[in-house]
A and B are shown apart, each in its own frame.
Chain A
Amino acid sequence: MKQADFLHMILPFKDKLYRLAKRLLVSNEEAEDATQEVLLKLWSKKTKIAEFNNVEAFAMTMTKNYCLDKLKSKQASNLKLVHSNYKDEHTSLQKQVEVRDSVNFVHQILEELPPQQKIIIQLRDVEQYDFEEIAKVVNMNPTAIRVALSRARKYVRQELIKKHNYGVS
């Protein structure tokens, strides 16, 4: 496999790898490092790549495992990086401030989810994978994924409502 072929092959999903890494590792730099690491590993396995029937799912699984390893080692060293870099667009200033505030809040809620649910939310609600594809990445059966996804979404809703009614009830 030539470099150009490889680049062409990873082009559609390298952003997905990065976003998944970012969801789990939070920091931009760490996510970029993780993506780079995974892409390099993939490149070093280029001779065997033809044997994989779904390279994207394989790469996503690699990213997931790499990030979970990273998280584990990070927890051991008790180091926590907190970044809040995201942007939004349009609507009037007042509303913009309000929405940004809420979006910010959603981000915080997502941060609180356990890693497994973070991965599932990321794959489903952001990347819009179907359950079979998610199942390949996280190695769970579709029913378990559905339960975890529902739980994660409900958690976000519950926290959002809590915030929405803050001071009212």
Chain B
Amino acid sequence: MELANIEKLLEKYFEATTTVQEEQELQLYFSQDNVAPHLQEYQPMFQHFANLLEEQYTRNVPLQPRKNYLKWISVAAVFIFMSTIGITYYVDAQERAKAEIAYAQFKESMTLVSESFNTGASHINHLNQFTETTNKFIITENN
């Protein structure tokens, strides 16, 4: 490509009126070794743009988004905490119920014992009368 054309393109380039194709021509011209001396000061600019295009994204694309583990851990912690409290409370209540049943049974049997004891005791009661009278009798004899 002739020099005059390049100069014209360069002029247009700085006014930003060049098309993408024309800019590619400029890029091509400045990427070769024999650049006209008075244009050499622009060479690093185009070279730099060319260099920049070679940079690449090297990292792997992480498609599994990082999960917010903390959130789920806290949910799990709350769940475990609540269920521990629930279970202890439930076990406690069951033990209490068992104990109450046992208490009621014990109380019932004890009432039974005391009732039969009382009936037994009521039969013995009139013997007291007997001792009383003998006592009186003995006392009077002594006197």
Write out, one digit per residue, whether chain B residues 15-46 have a CB within 8 A of any chain A CB (1) or not (0). Answer: 11101100110000000010000000111110
A103, A128, A129, A156: residue with the most chain B Cβ atoms closer than 10 Å: A103
| B20 contacts A128, C-beta separation under 8 Å | yes
Given A127-B53, A164-B41: A36 and B59 interface contact (C-beta under 8 Å) = yes
Q: Is A66 an interface residue (CB 8 A)?
A: no
| A160 contacts B57, C-beta separation under 8 Å | no
| B51 contacts A160, C-beta separation under 8 Å | no
Pick from B23, B33, B57: contact of A91, CB under 8 Å: B33
| B53 contacts A105, C-beta separation under 8 Å | no
Q: Is A153 an interface residue (CB 8 A)?
A: yes
Pick from B19, B43, B53, B62: contact of A19, CB under 8 Å: B53
| A15 contacts B57, C-beta separation under 8 Å | yes
Q: Is B47 an interface residue (CB 8 A)?
A: yes
Pick from B17, B42, B52: contact of A160, CB under 8 Å: B42
What's the nearest-Cβ distance from chain A to residue B36, in Å?
14
Q: Considering the chains assembled together, what is the distance between the CA atoms of A89 and B1 in angstroms? A: 24
| B47 contacts A99, C-beta separation under 8 Å | yes
What's the nearest-Cβ distance from chain B to residue A165, in Å?
9
Interface size on B, residues (CB 8 A): 30
Q: Considering the chains assembled together, what is the distance between the CA atoms of A110 and B51 in angstroms? A: 13
- Which residues of A are found within 8 Å of B51, using beta-carbon distances? 86-88, 103
Given A36-B62, A106-B48, A128-B24: A18 and B43 interface contact (C-beta under 8 Å) = no
Q: Considering the chains assembled together, what is the distance between the CA atoms of A156 and B51 in angstroms? A: 16
Interface size on A, residues (CB 8 A): 48
Given A18-B55, A40-B65: A105 and B44 interface contact (C-beta under 8 Å) = yes
| B15 contacts A150, C-beta separation under 8 Å | yes
- Which residues of A are found within 8 Å of B61, using beta-carbon distances? 7, 10, 14, 36, 39
Interface, chain B (partner A; CB < 8 A)? 13-17, 19-20, 23-24, 33, 41-45, 47-49, 51-53, 55-59, 61-63, 65
A–B pairs, 13, beta carbons within 8 Å: A15-B56, A18-B56, A36-B59, A36-B61, A40-B65, A44-B65, A91-B33, A99-B47, A102-B43, A102-B44, A106-B44, A124-B23, A125-B49
Interface, chain A (partner B; CB < 8 A)? 3, 6-7, 10, 14-15, 17-19, 22-23, 32, 35-36, 39-40, 43-44, 86-88, 91, 99, 102-103, 105-107, 110, 122, 124-130, 146-147, 149-150, 153-154, 156-157, 160-161, 164
Q: Which 8 pairs, one residue from A and one from B, show the smallest C-beta to C-beta distance?
A: A102-B44, A18-B57, A150-B16, A149-B16, A106-B48, A164-B41, A146-B16, A125-B49
